[in-house]
Structure 1
Amino acid sequence: MELPFYLNFTDFESQYYHNLEKWFEEYHNTSEIDYLKALADLYSPYVYYNFATDRLQADASIEIKDCFFPYHEKIGISFCTHCEKESASGKNLNHVFEFKNISMMEYAQHILDKVNRYCSKNKSALEGNKSILDYINHYDSITSVEGVGYCISYNRHQKVLPFLKAYLPYYGQTVNMATYKDFIFSVVDIAEFIDQKLKTIRAFEHTIYAKSKSDAKFNVQMSRQFLTLCN
């Protein structure tokens, strides 16, 4: 069962039991804890543990590869055809890249631009009942690169599809900033609602809080070990 992804707390809370009933209809040998664990997996990528406040905070961002050619502005190169592959020939100028974090709103706009570009080149793409959402996981349109810029990891892209399906418009050129702000203000409330349900049935180890705190401690330890090795 594909769980709906909600961008505001009110909708999430009001539909909780309705979706739980559908979950039980779909999976007979299951329990509410399985449903809550699935919800935790759905929303945990958009929060992080803050050591200073000992609470979860919103972090709707994604790491992405920014591909470019060295000095391409100076020599006039404006394409990046091998961002996901090795250079086909040693004579070609190799691209370079760096990883950076961008907001999910910027990522969604980038995907929307890619889909619209693909649809403009394929006039029949939006015929019938098809919309932009039919192409947000279309391999050729998502992974294509025209000019320097972001190179999409198709595997990582799969993890944010629920958000994109809920956030991107059926038609249009721009994403909705107000809807995104609602999500940023709501995602911690959603996570804490899930955690409270898990605590009620004594499944604290499965809470988003516990997982995020554990991940944060691990990252700190890894950073300290790295600094120790460097010194």
Structure 2
Amino acid sequence: MTAVTRSKASFGKVGQEHDFTGTRAVLLVSVGQRYHEGDKLQATIDLVNRSGIEHLTVAVADALQRHNYTDLPEDVAYAYALRAGDEWLERNSEILGGLLVPSDVLRWHTTLTDERYKALRERVENEYADNPGYRAAVDATIGRFTDRLRQRDPDADVEAAFRRSWVYLMEECPVIMPLWAQDGHDFVIYPQPMTDAMAKTREIFVEPSHPDKARWLSLRFKKRALEPVA
């Protein structure tokens, strides 16, 4: 007899303190990550279905990943990232079709054409330049990435990696926090804990004006046994 297991998702500590009835949430998808595929994605959708969340936006952060394709020209990297997003949507269409709540799909390149984005990004970059506390939070987030990179590859160009990560965060943070808060999203669902950079962005740019919006919901996954099969 072989034990069959299936993932079950739950919200982290913050999520256990809330009633989600009538709320709007964003499921932030990092294309290429295993926790946004197959069994774990299915577990996430099942959790949303039973949570009481009223509306879910599936935000496919595909174009954002172009910053990680360091060996490709910029235009090729952008096209490659968009294609990866297309493939993710096609590959997971059946799972997404199981959503029992009203939903929509938001592609990352759409957020970059939002008329508010440029001004929000300028504010975030200015905050980095002028606020030592914010700069420390961003640098700490980048530092954890470069530390892992150095462990994998002692000869890696850490300075170049820092610059790429900085650009990545300067694009990511104004979208996920102030922009989505302004859009009325109550929660952002993601499998990993909030980074220092994202938390500080929320503290500075969201809490003063939208304290109940864009709250971070990390996910936990556990394996549960199903009926054994012969």
Q: Normalising by the residue count of structure 1, what TM-score does the alignment of the two structures yield?
A: 0.27
More strand by share: 2
